[in-house]
Amino acid sequence: MDLFKKCKNQEQIKLLREKNVYPYFHMLTSKQAPEVKMEGKDVIMIGSNNYLGLTSHPEVIEAGVKAIEKYGSGCSGSRFLNGTLDMHLELEAKLAAFLKKEETVTFSTGFQSNLGIISGICGRTDVILCDKENHASIYDGCRLSFARMLRYNHSDMADLEEKLKTVDQSVSGILIVTDGVFSMGGDIAKLPEIVALAKKYGARVMVDDAHGLGVLGEHGRGTAEYFGLENEVDIYMGTFSKSLASIGGYMAASREVCEYVRHNSRPFIFSASITPANVACAMKSLEILEREPQRVKRLAEISSYMRRNLKRDGVDIIDGTTPIIPIYTYTNMRTFTACKLLFDRGVYVNSVISPATPVGKSLLRTSYMATHTEEQMDRAAAHIKAVLKEIENITD
């Protein structure tokens, strides 16, 4: 009996390193940008969630520096006790106004946001309906809540309704939770149908808009704005680590729901608050998003340009309209090899294998920034096409 026995038997990791195709933990020595310095190489970055390209924006950097100078490096406590700064409240007020909700609550990470919201609002006598392709943090939030979780097939509204029919109406409450933009496939939730089913069966709706904020909608407010359903979603969740160029997360909801979560969410109550620099960077990024909505339009344009580029070259992609463009490589070893060959050619992409995708549907997850250029896309697409040709005969 040895708890650590499993730590000695990591054969797949050893094999990937022996074959020199291990795709994880590449070392960056530059800012997140359209092109970065990674492992000493200049590479086109098409594996980042820096959708609006704000992580290297001079105003964002300046805001972070000034916040450290004024408040120091950290808050040394939770929001519940000594860790609430005036800038936390300012950010929450600005987010609420932007998202057209009564209030927001901020969390120290995006992952923690889903843990804190779902476990704070749901309990043992509640039922949660969860899309099978929802983010891992949603699943962990459901587990932490101790509510009954029913998983429905990905974006399958008939299956969602069948699951809703099985729920005993004597339960305390029902929550339907879905990603707005699914992080691996890049597809958009069928929010109009979800809202209609929620009304029919007396459920509440929560949308994880981590990949929707700054991406969808005329003003970048996300999935609900995209569908014209901003008054129909009960809870928005989002992160600062993507379009808002920082780290942290939030929920936006009614005043009474936010107040309840502040006083009942263990991940919120027992975690140190977001650092001053991160708050300042998120707030400045939000200001730039509001001031420059053309960044949202530009992001859509560069994503469409790359999608057309890949399709023209016969690359097998998952079609869509978001800046997430997954490219099928099918087997694990082909996926890892493709990542390595692309990196060697100066292009960084993410490898995605089972269980993040179904077995036999491994893929390269590529994602784009409003600050990418067409010339960078042309270079990246040419390398992708060449590498996919090179790995055609590789099997696991």
Residue of 155, 183, 246, 271 with catalytic role: 183
Euclidean distance between CA atoms 304 and 29, whole angstroms: 30
DSSP letter at 249 equals E
Q: What is the dihedral of CA 218, 368, 286, 80, to 10 degrees?
A: 120
Amino acid at 373: T
Q: Is 183 among the residues known to form the active site?
A: yes
Residue of 242, 340, 372, 383 with catalytic role: 242
Q: Is 273 among the residues known to form the active site?
A: no
Strand partners, 251: 105, 237
The CA–CA distances, whole Å, from 324 to 7, 138, 256, 311, 318 equal 34, 20, 35, 15, 9
Biggest CA pair distance of the chain: 60
Residue of 57, 88, 101, 211 with catalytic role: 211
Q: Is 211 among the residues known to form the active site?
A: yes
- Residue-wise burial string across 84-112, b where 16 or more C-beta atoms lie within 10 A, e elsewhere: ebebbeebbebbbebbebebbbbbbbbbb
355 upstream amide cis, omega within 30 of 0: yes
Alpha-helix runs per DSSP H in the chain: 11-18, 58-71, 86-99, 110-121, 136-145, 157-165, 191-201, 223-227, 255-264, 266-269, 276-291, 294-312, 332-344, 374-390
Q: Which residue has the tokens 């399958």?
A: 156
Spatial strand order of the sheet with 41-45 comes to: 35-38, 41-45, 347-348
User: Is the distance from CB of 192 to CB of 202 less than 8 angstroms?
Assistant: no
Alpha-helix runs per DSSP H in 72-207: 86-99, 110-121, 136-145, 157-165, 191-201
User: Is the distance from CB of 175 to CB of 129 less than 8 angstroms?
Assistant: yes
Nearest to 190 by CA among 245, 159, 227, 221: 227
**Which residues are tagged catalytic?**
183, 211, 242
